Structure 1
Amino acid sequence: MNHQPASSATVRTVIRDLEADIIFGRLRPNEELTEDALMERFSVKRHVVRSAIQELVSRRVVTKPPSRSARVKDFTLDEVREIYHMRELLQRDAVRIMPQPVPADGLAALKATYDRHAAAVAAGADGGLIHQLNDEFHDRLFALCGNRELCKAIAFYTEVSNPIRSYGIVDAGWLSQAVEEHGAMILAIERQDRDTLARLVVDHMQPTRHRWEVLHADRALSHAQLTD
């Protein structure tokens, strides 16, 4: 049977909503994503769901074993260490090659995004908006390095880590800390303090990772106790 090509806009909507569910913990690691349930939820045909799942698999936030339903990716401790090692390497390198001083228009755009993100956090805005502005801040920050391919790699590994980031990304304490650390990054850029900026961009990603590691250890302990 011939299918009409999946509308790219419709597929993007399914991808966006599923990613949001993963980022904000509404879909947890190992949770099943059945095609029939997704078809009903989004009122779309099977080929649209399959296109969306295929893209999420390519982004490494979903797994799809042969002849089985897709599931939200559940990382091992080693995978998390490797992903964050890559993020640290890439982000440090972006800081290393960032010109000093940075272009004035780029810094102005970064500050404008900072103000919007800080205002959204202070107002208790929708989590989706806060997450969007948070990622926009980091995109603008690393764009200051001037290497678009490096920025694409940073964005890729940031997206891969979304299921890990979901364990703390809407925590009120973490959000306030994130705003404070964003401000410190801007100050380091203005002072042309490359060493401090390199430390900040690495330290900044650790709280949600550490929360994931603690919860992962708790799950492993609970499983071991149940199987004793």
Structure 2
Amino acid sequence: MRIVVADDAVLLREGLVRLLTDEGHQVVAAVGDGPSLVRAMLTHRPDISIVDVRMPPSHTDEGLRAAIGARAHLPGTPVVVLSQYVEVHYAAELLADGSGAIGYLLKDRVARVEEFLDTLDRVARGATVLDPQVVSQLLAGQRRSTPLEALTARERQLLSLMAEGHSNTAIARQLALSNSAVEKHVGNVFAKLGLPPDNTQHRRVLAVLAYLRS
């Protein structure tokens, strides 16, 4: 894949470049600030970009804003955002356009190389992948009186796995269910969240977004 890497920490940035290059990918740009990220994405139109949330000049959410800005010009371009801490509202903002191809991972996840590379591959193919710790925090802090209250325990379990980017086949394997059973549960989730079939938006992304906003 052709990849843009954006992180102001030189050691992490160069480490990512080395890792990706060793795995046969082409790093077309490695930058350290938000404006440079936008320019790199618009110039190179990479298969995927790996972006740190906090970068110069603001050192707050500059990387996130740059990624969202670039996706406004390149709708659906795949992005994996790295964060030092779990910040659920960042993930929600990334998913807000409903087009998918988004990953939100804690930086520690990079050390799990195979898992990290698998996430890049899935996001590049259009999946939405949230760090399991983000999903765990959502479950722990879930409020009541939301559409999610109507979901059964099994349906909430499936939704959490969907939020981690697992396909129906992978969910079936993990929960020891048949593919048809998973499809039925997923259909029930969509129905209870008020997400009828719609060719213009990705219901899986919208379901995860509802999960984030709950």
Both proteins in one fold, TM over 0.5:
no
As a proportion of its length, which structure holds more strand?
A: 2
Q: TM-score, normalised by structure 2?
A: 0.28
As a proportion of its length, which structure holds more helix?
A: 1
Structure of higher CA gyration radius: 1
RCO comparison, higher one (Cα < 8 Å, 6+): 1
Q: TM-score, normalised by structure 1?
A: 0.27
